[in-house]
Amino acid sequence: MKSAFCLRMHLVSVLSAALLAGAAVPAHAGLFGKDSPVPQWGLDAAKTPTPANIGDASAVILFDEYVEAIDGQGRAVEREREAIRILKPQARHEFCAVSYDVDEKINYFREWTLAADGKTFQAKDTDFVDVGAGEEDAVRDIPILLQTEKTRIVRPPAEDVGATILCESEELMAPWKREKVWNIQEGRFVYEALEIDLPPGSQFAESWHRYQPVKPVEDAPNHWRWEIKDMPRLDLRDVKASPAWDALAARMSVRWGDLAADGRDNQWRALGEWIEQLETNRPSPSPEISAKAQELTAGSSDFFAKLTAITAYIQKNIRYFVIERGIGGYQAHFASDIYRNRYGDCKDKTTLLISMLQAVGIRAHYLQVDSDRGVVDPDSPSLYSDHMITAIEIPSGFKDPRLQAVVTAKDGMRYLIFDPTDERTPVGNLPSYLQGGYGLLATGPSSQVIELPVLDPSANGSERSGKFTLAADGTLSGSVDTLNFGPQGAELRQFLKFTDEKERREYWESMVARDLPGVVLDSFQFVEPDSLAKPLEFHFKVTAHQYAHMAGPLLLVRPRVLGSAARYFDDKPRKVPFDLEATGRWHNSFDIALPTGYVVDETPDPVDLDMDFASYHASVTAKDNVLHYERTYTVRQVELPADRAADFRKFESTILSDEKGTAVLRKQ
Amino acid sequence: MRNSHPLCSTVLIAAMLPAVLVRAQLQFQPPTPGELKMTADPDAPGADAVYLNIEETDNNPMSYESHYARIKVLTEKGKEMATVELPYLNLSSKVTDIKGRTIHADGTIVPLNVKPEDLMIAKSGDEQFKRKVFTLPSVEVGSILEYRYDISNCDQKYGGCFVVPPTWEIQKSHFVHRAHYQFTPPPSLMPAHASASFTDLSTWADSHGRIIQSIAFLQRLQPGSAVKVGTTAYTVDATDVPPVPTEEWMPPLASLLYRVSFYYTFARNGTEFWQSDGKLWSQDVDKFAEPSKAIKNALNGLVAPGDSDLDKAKKLYAAVEALDNTDYSRRKTASEMKELGIKAAKHAEDTWAQKSGTSEDIAMLYLAMLRAAGLNAIAVKVVDRDKGIFDPSYLTLYQLDATLVALNAGGKQMVLDPGEKMCPFGTVNWRHSGAGGINQSDKGIQISTTPEQSYKDNSVNRVADLTLDAHGGVTGYVQIVMAGQKGLQWRQAALRNDDTELKKQFDHDELEGLVPEGVEAHVDHFLGVDQPGQNLMAVVKVTGTLGTATAKRLLLPGLFFETRAGAPFVNEEKRLEPVDMHFAERITDDVTYHLPAGMTVEGAPQDASVPWQGHAVFILKSKADAGQIEVVNTLARAFSEAKPEEYQDLRGFYQQVAAAEQAQLVLKIAPAASAAPAAPATSTPAGKGN
């Protein structure tokens, strides 16, 4: 389960059709929709034939060009020209969009349609609509992250199959922006280009993610142009167990001003210094903060005790909520305000944590990451990410086995990595979605990109045991006791936070019903869910009618009563890695007392499969009229390369076979 | 054609009143010791928060509203109630005087001191739909959240104020202990003054020039609660209001929730309203659907003089169904229509000339053509049953969504749905079946309900021919034959998507979860997608591992389909609201397994018959022959709706169905073949579970 998204750094160029559908009111484009002839660039682009190799694309982007004109103060004016050909009916609701915030301005935004029958249209004022970019949590239906950012959308006239949509816009960007992230796989592109026009003497830095760098051409003095042809769309819709789209899609980042530096390490340093400068004085502890921190740590004897007291306070008492305004997408509020209001976003929570730790003599720093593993690329310096967490300096020589999420920086400094936004993962551990990713450690001149640790399987998982009685009519009843560790326990705790009693029962009943159709959850109990230091205990009792099935003289019963570890797999060629989600160890032990008069005729074969990335051991035994099932499933890596697809299939199919394994009972 | 008469809207903007500044804002109140100490609410067990108080005062002569809420936070989740969103229409209304505070369990008060943010939802020229957002500070479990705000319904640009009769959503997301609502309309419209002239608003009339006579209201309240009519105001006092229900297969939520909706109307009663407004609607229909010369000319070549009435109706139906229905393709933008010199259709002949129109336009065109052909046909206006339930006591045509055509041919009346693209002649979309509304008649307007559909009208037959190998592997094909609603659903999807996308959607929506774990099912091709008069067939290719092999046996799910989908209602012990399963239907599965050589059936699914008398039946039969076994099961559901008091019977039925669907098939391996090792599964749609 992901933490809440926090930073608004993924610039939106195309929004979902649902958003457009939701914008029921047509808007005026003001000065932006004035009649003007179809531009020559559009006429030229429209001559581009549709490529033969479009795959499943419903539209093809014939031409897409960004020009970033940077002034002497580093402020950019961005112009985009785009030509899209509609190929299939489902693309009839494609549209162009320009996002803007409080300190930005759309200079103009025009659209023309070259219809399949040769007619030409231009969008008028009534075809434009502005919509707010407030992001709402669909599950909770409560807004927790709102933004002042808005998006202007044009609904192209005559948008039928065969039509070519031409859009051109120009926008004055926020004065503090120094980076353009060029997403080059958002569609099926025939041709795309990025230009940057810098003032004399200015420098730029570029970096590429999952794409061989393209050499720019200097069209004019300090005016650079990158071009890409025939870029396929990255479509992960039918790819299961895939890393996030952002982690896999090709992109390029170009930076200027203070963010331009030579060499990878210097570029990361420049970005880290920019963050630190942006947050200057934000964490300064107020007297109230200092007093609270002292109060919380009074009597704490060592580093870990102090740390736990403060992190637990922030996790429990600072509510996740923010309205981001302009640079507020990057910059935290002041710690004193956060403390007074008791709410904030990830930057705010990190700021308050740094502040409170500072008040008790512990140094901590901003660590910018992404909530999807693989988005932050150590070889591609960029601010492109969506989350802020905390790197806490560990005193020299201090050791404690509870400090698991530890990273050693290049200068030898050890940091404990902690996500204060995740309200349920205890300090020392690390949410699974962060493990194996990278982050930008903002420590002034020593800022650097660091790899986040992948924790040992023992730091995550569950221990589940069940004792059941099977009746002769097939009814299974019994109790299940589970201990949930690390991130697994945190996810469950998070679930408890956002559900009431009725929802918990419904959810859990539906989960159990996957394995036990028609189950009745007789009772359930979570023990001390707020106690982060302990594994989360979960106990429940169930009754499932007709769990075992008569087949002639036989009674068939599945020894693996509950829980599935098998992931989806298929025989399709694999091009992207497998996301294994989390390391961990899950152990099940089930005893089923058999009905009188039945004996075990057959049991499934034991399974012992040990691979480098995971292992699976399962066995079924019968003794004293009790059927005993035991399995241990261990995952040691969070990702598996695509060329290991055969191993993945073998592993998952083995699990599936075991999970479906049936014991055959025969009436004596 | 326009949708309906713009009468009796809940927002009436005909009168511009002077702003009055004297207002009585609702005040904060001190918490009781009991409220401060409360850690759980016995009236709302397990609730994460409860409303202690809600108050709303609406004053139309003064064009303002005052709102107040007090909330007790009981759990971590309940803290989210601290964030409040107030949507409003910029320029025509203004949210003012937002005040809030958090009261901790120890009585400490933390005031709201952060300015609420003003965020855009959507913008249209000068008009913006916006929302004020604020979050109360320092919230803890145990806190009491308290806030109030006013809304002024006055024009911010041109001055003057609006009369906005309120709608009170009495039922909230959380349990409400006490709620008080008060609405003060113009005094002369109160019943106590009904005989008085409406001097201050003497020109107040609707768009048809009918003088506003009275205030009407829709009230849907819990037993024991009712709108009280005073001399100057209407009030509602509600206590212990349960939260908004969340149950599977509920009727449209809008038709269930407790609420009161006021509106001004010319009519003094329902009969007067429906006859008057219905008459206007009927006149509009007749005007649009006039069998003009152009329409009569259009009939040439479409029907022959010798055709029977029914044949004529069918041919004309086919002709209008063939037009571009822009609700399934794309509506032209206003600028596009201007560029093309096209105007919105005002008469059926316009739609015919353009060969294009909305569902409404096309339905009316069909009516015009039927009349031009001399057939007896009338218009029927119904609610969309997916959105609401028609309430004749709610005096507005806005609750009606779709236009149908009722044809009287050969002494038999049938309801047709020409606005539904791909809907076969003689049937309607389920959203328009059993749907209330009004229809034209010789005697004026009648309130009526369209016929329910029979389970025989909507069927899905899945015929599988599967070959098993000794390791449990399976290959084969499934033919899914869809008649009625399922066929309509996928034919309409085909209008919006190309074949590749349609297959993907079918795989995802229909097949995933339908077949057992370890088996993949993908559509190979469709038959009859563009022939609504015939059954739609999906031919599905199946591969994977179906069973598990042991040393002596091959164990398989007895039923190939629905083994993972799960029957509804099984886990829902109690029911508060009616069940609405949309339409009756019959699903039949006929699966033939070809057995591996050397295997015989040791145990087959037991024949079963699960009846729910008068409502539904599930039948399962299997028949083993040499080298194969055929398993046939049928679930026929004759009902689409069930009352809460019928729920236990309904649940019991589905529990038995769910159990029967778990039946197993056991094949015995002959001694010579039993040496074959078990092979791992080859695919699975499973995810990591609990």
Contacts of A24 in chain B (CB under 8 A): 122
Contacts of B550 in chain A (CB under 8 A): 602-605, 662, 664
- Other beta carbons within 10 angstroms of residue A48's beta carbon come to 16
For the whole model, what pTM was predicted? 0.91
Query: Looking at the predicted structure, is the pLDDT value of residue B17 above 80?
Result: no
Categorize the per-residue pLDDT at A461 as very low, low, confident or very high, splitting at 50, 70 and 90: very high
Establish how many alpha carbons lie within 13 A of residue B191's alpha carbon, considering only the half-sphere containing its beta carbon. Answer: 9
Please determine, for residue B676, whether its predicted confidence score (pLDDT) is greater than 80: no
CB A307 within 8 A of CB A357: yes
φ, ψ for residue A597, nearest 5 deg: 95, -5
Choose the weakest-confidence range: A350-359, A510-519, B503-512.
A510-519
Residues A232-274 have pLDDT tens digits of 999 999 899 999 999 999 999 999 999 999 999 999 999 999 9
A605 contacts B77? CB cut-off 8 A: no
Residue in A closest to B499 by C-alpha: A88
Q: In chain B, which residues have their Cβ closer than 8 Å to the Cβ of A550?
A: 603, 606
Q: Which residues of A touch B120 (CB under 8 A)?
A: 130-132, 150
CB atoms A569 and B684 under 8 Å: yes
- Interatomic CA distance for residues B395 and B442, integer angstroms: 22
Disruptive mutation site among B90, B335, B600 for chain A (greatest number of A CBs within 10 Å): B335
What rounded mean pLDDT belongs to chain A?
A: 91
C-alpha to C-alpha distance for B408 and B658, rounded to whole angstroms: 44
**pLDDT value of residue B193:** 67
User: Rounded to a whole number, what is the distance in Å from the CA of A287 to chain B's nearest CA?
Assistant: 17
Contact B144, B72 (CB under 8 A): yes
Of the candidate ranges A144-158, A226-240, A340-354, B103-117, the one whose mean pLDDT is the lowest: A144-158
Q: Which of residues 324-383 of B touch A (CB under 8 A)?
A: 329-330, 332-336, 338-340
Question: Is the model's pLDDT at B6 over the cut of 50?
Answer: no
Least trusted range by pLDDT, from A82-86, A502-506, A663-667, B202-206: B202-206
Rounded (10°) CA dihedral A372, A373, A374, A377: 90
pLDDT digits (tens, 9 = 90+) for A606-641: 999 999 999 999 999 999 999 999 999 999 999 999
Going by their DSSP bridges, the two strands B64-73 and B144-152 should be labelled as antiparallel
pLDDT at site A93? 86
Q: Please tell me if residue B686 touches chain A, with a CB cutoff of 8 Å.
A: yes
Q: Grade residue B208 by pLDDT with cuts at 50, 70 and 90.
A: confident
Nearest to A564 among B665, B678, B688 (CB): B688
- Between A508 and A144, name the one with better pLDDT: A508
Is B659 in contact with A518 (Cβ distance < 8 A)?
A: yes
Contact list, A480 vs chain B (CB under 8 Å) = none
Query: Which of the pair, B677 or A461, is modelled with greater confidence?
Result: A461
pLDDT at position A668 over 90: no
Residue in chain A closest to B75 (alpha carbons) equals A497
Tens of pLDDT, residues A5-48:
454 333 333 333 333 333 333 333 334 445 789 999 999 999 99
Question: Are A368 and A393 a contacting pair, CB within 8 Å?
Answer: no
Name the phi and psi angles at A93, rounded to 5.
-115, 20
pLDDT band at B13 (very low <50, low <70, confident <90, very high): very low
Both tokens of B264, joined, read 């001004």
Q: Which of A95, A313, A315, A549 to mutate to test binding with chain B, by most B CBs within 10 Å of its CB?
A: A549
Residues of chain A contacting B495 with CB distance shorter than 8 Å: 89
Average pLDDT over every residue of B671-675: 54
Q: What is the mean predicted confidence (pLDDT) over B670-676?
A: 56
Residues of A in contact with B335 (CB under 8 A): 121-124, 126-127, 157
Q: Do B73 and B135 meet the contact criterion of CB atoms below 8 Å apart? A: no
Nearest-CA distance from A556 to chain B in Å? 8
Q: How far is B328 from chain A (nearest CA, A)?
A: 10
Which residues from A are below 8 Å from B573, CB to CB? Answer: 520
Please name the residues in contact with A451: beta carbons below 8 A apart, sequence gap of 6 or more.
A378, A407, A436, A437, A438
- Tell me which DSSP letter residue B48 carries: S
Token code pair at residue A217: 């051409």
Q: Is the pLDDT of residue B686 over 50?
A: no
* pLDDT, tens digit (0-9, with 9 covering 90-100), for B565-603: 567 887 788 899 999 999 999 999 999 999 999 999 999
CB pairs under 8 A between A and B: 282
User: Hey, are the CB atoms on B85 and A501 less than 8 Å from each other?
Assistant: no
CB contact under 8 A, A517 and B122: no
The verdict on a CB contact (< 8 Å) between A517 and B45 is no
CA distance A652 to A637: 15
Q: Which residue has the tokens 């796989």?
A: A185
pLDDT, residue B562, reads 76
Q: Say if residue B37's pLDDT is above 50.
A: yes
Tens-place pLDDT, residues B425-469: 999 999 999 999 999 998 889 999 999 999 999 999 999 999 999
Question: What are the residues facing A524 on neighbouring strands?
Answer: A540
B:190-229 residues touching chain A, CB 8 A cutoff: none
Nearest by CB to B683, from A27, A343, A570: name it: A570
Q: List the single residue in A122, A134, A509 with the smallest CB-CB distance to B119.
A: A134
The Cα of A633 is separated from the nearest Cα of chain B by a number of Å equal to: 12
Inter-residue contact A135 to A145 (CB < 8 Å): yes
- B window 85-144, beta carbon within 8 A of A: 85, 114, 117, 119-127, 129-131, 133, 135, 137-140
Residue type for A371, please? S
Provide the pLDDT for residue A144: 65
Please answer yes or no on whether A550 and B138 come within 8 Å at the CB atom: no
- The nearest alpha carbon in chain B to A237 belongs to B504
Which one has a higher pLDDT value, B255 or B179?
B179
How do residues B499-514 score in pLDDT, each as one tens digit? 999 999 999 999 988 9
Which chain B residue is nearest to residue A542, measuring alpha carbons? B571
Alpha-carbon distances, residue B40 vs A381, B43, B49, B175, B473 (angstroms): 51, 9, 9, 12, 55
- Chosen for mutation from A532, A546, A550 (greatest number of chain B CBs closer than 10 Å) is A546
Least Cα separation, residue B413 to chain A (angstroms): 37
The answer on pLDDT for A644 being more than 80 is: yes
Average pLDDT over residues B122-144: 89
**Residue B127 to residue A58, Cβ atoms within 8 A:** no
User: Which domains, and CATH codes, for chain B?
Assistant: 11-266 (2.60.40.3140), 272-451 (3.10.620.30), 456-668 (2.60.120.1130)
Q: Which of residues 573-632 of B touch A (CB under 8 A)?
A: 573, 602-606
Q: Which residues lie below 8 Å from residue A646, measured CB to CB, with a gap of 6+?
A: none
pLDDT tens figures, B319-336:
999 999 999 999 998 889
Q: What is the pLDDT of residues B45-70, one digit of tens each?
A: 989 999 999 999 999 999 999 999 99
Rounded to an integer, the average pLDDT of B149-153 is 94
B359-372 helix and B270-288 helix, angle to the nearest 10 degrees:
70
Cβ contact B339–A119 (<8 Å): yes
Put simply, the answer to whether B80 touches A140 (Cβ < 8 Å) is yes
pLDDT tops 70 at residue B196: no
Q: Indicate yes or no: CB of A89 within 8 angstroms of CB of B550.
A: no
Give B 484-513 residues with CB within 8 A of chain A.
Answer: 495-498, 500-501, 504
Sorting pLDDT into bands at 50, 70 and 90, what band is B187?
confident
Structural domains present in chain A = 8-260 (2.60.40.3140), 267-454 (3.10.620.30), 458-667 (2.60.120.1130)
What digits encode the pLDDT tens for the residues B63-102? Answer: 999 999 999 999 999 999 999 999 998 888 999 999 999 9
Contact between A568 and B687 using a beta-carbon 8 Å cutoff: yes
Structure ipTM: 0.89
Both tokens of residue A19? 């958003």
- For position B462, what pLDDT does the model report? 97
Q: Which residues of B touch A28 (CB under 8 A)?
A: 124-126
What's the CA gap between A67 and A225, in Å, rounded?
9
